[in-house]
Amino acid sequence: MFDWLFSLPSALAEAAAPAAPAAEAAAQEPGGAAAMIQMFLPMILIVVVFYFLLIRPQRKKDKKVKDMLANLKVGDRITTIGGIYGTIRVLRDDTVTLAVGKDNVEMVFARWAIRGVEEVSIENEGELLT
């Protein structure tokens, strides 16, 4: 009943056998350069997409952080990566001394540990939190 289904692959193989030498001859012709371009085009497109979606935005962000760290000055109110808010008292090449809390306790941090500069300085933190 289903004998024709089982003989189908062999019939397809017989029909494709004469076409195989013609395909090899076509690949050796000058059209091989076009095939090479078709092969590398998706890889090139992937690299371009990765550049615009991942690499370029990360470079912009890194440049912004580098500029922020270069423009620090004494008196700026900053946030560290640990979530500590403080005011810059002393700036050195690699370290920053912060005044933290009501008693202005001085803490020393690495410059790279600064997350951001606060735009608005908070005068009385206790009243704001209650």
Mark residue 110 as left, alpha or beta (left: phi above 0; alpha: psi -120 to 50; beta: remaining).
beta
* CA separation for the pair 64, 88 (Å, rounded): 20
Give the pTM. Answer: 0.58
Q: Across the strands, what pairs with 91?
A: 96
* CA separation for the pair 28, 117 (Å, rounded): 64
Question: Cα 97 vs. chain centroid, distance in angstroms?
Answer: 31
CA distance readout (Å), 71 to 58, 80, 84, 91, 92:
20, 16, 20, 11, 13
Domains of the chain with bracketed CATH: 3-67 (no CATH), 73-129 (2.30.30.30)
* CA separation for the pair 9, 4 (Å, rounded): 10
For 86, other C-beta atoms within 10 Å of its C-beta total: 23
At 51, list the tokens: 């550049």
pLDDT tens track, the chain, 130 positions = 566 556 656 666 666 565 555 555 554 555 678 888 888 999 999 999 999 999 999 999 999 999 999 999 999 999 999 999 999 999 999 999 999 999 999 999 999 999 999 986 555 555 454 3
